[in-house]
């Protein structure tokens, strides 16, 4: 691959993670208890599959972006991980239709 790039046979290349083309991606909007936003953000960033987590003004309190293998894995992240974070009151999950 490096030789092909060096000799301009290929102008650009990218490597997809295994299963990336079939990944389930979702935006998760999170409402948290007052004063808990920073703690929840820290906890979210430790969860495998949570690619981004950003505090926002207004509702929801946090926008997060998750990329996992499939909908079962998404359910696991939301129900068994995000919902159990101290301070999380509710979530609203939006699965990406296409990228």
DSSP code of residue 81: I
* 43 within some domain: yes
Residue 6 has pLDDT above 70, yes or no: no
Alpha helices (H) in the chain, listed in sequence order: 2-6, 37-44, 71-76
Domain residues for 62? Answer: 17-95
* 52 within some domain: yes
pTM above 0.95, yes or no: no
Cα–Cα–Cα angle for 93, 97, 99, nearest 5°?
Answer: 115
pLDDT at 98: 86
Give the model confidence (pLDDT) of 76-94 as tens digits. 999 999 999 999 999 999 9
Structure tokens at 25: 């991606």
Contact 85, 43 (CB under 8 A): yes
CATH number at residue 53: 3.30.70.920
Give the model confidence (pLDDT) of 37-79 as tens digits. 999 999 999 999 999 999 999 999 999 999 999 999 999 999 9
Contact 24, 69 (CB under 8 A): yes
Residue 7 has pLDDT above 80, yes or no: no
* 77: helix, strand or coil: helix
Place of tokens 């293998």: 69
* Domain count along the chain: 1
C-alpha dihedral sign at 69, 73, 74, 77 = negative
Structure tokens at 41: 């953000």
* 7 within some domain: no
pLDDT-above-90 percentage for the chain: 76
């Amino acid at each position: 691959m490096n030789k092909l790039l060096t000799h301009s046979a290929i102008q650009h290349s990218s490597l997809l993670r295994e299963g990336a083309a079939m990944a389930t991606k979702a935006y998760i909007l999170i409402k948290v208890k007052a004063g808990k936003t920073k703690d929840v953000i820290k906890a979210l960033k430790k969860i495998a599959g949570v690619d981004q987590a950003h505090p926002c003004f207004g509702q929801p309190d946090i926008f997060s972006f998750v990329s996992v293998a499939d909908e079962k894995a998404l359910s696991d992240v939301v129900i068994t991980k995000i919902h159990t974070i101290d301070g999380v009151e509710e979530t609203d999950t939006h699965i990406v239709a296409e990228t």
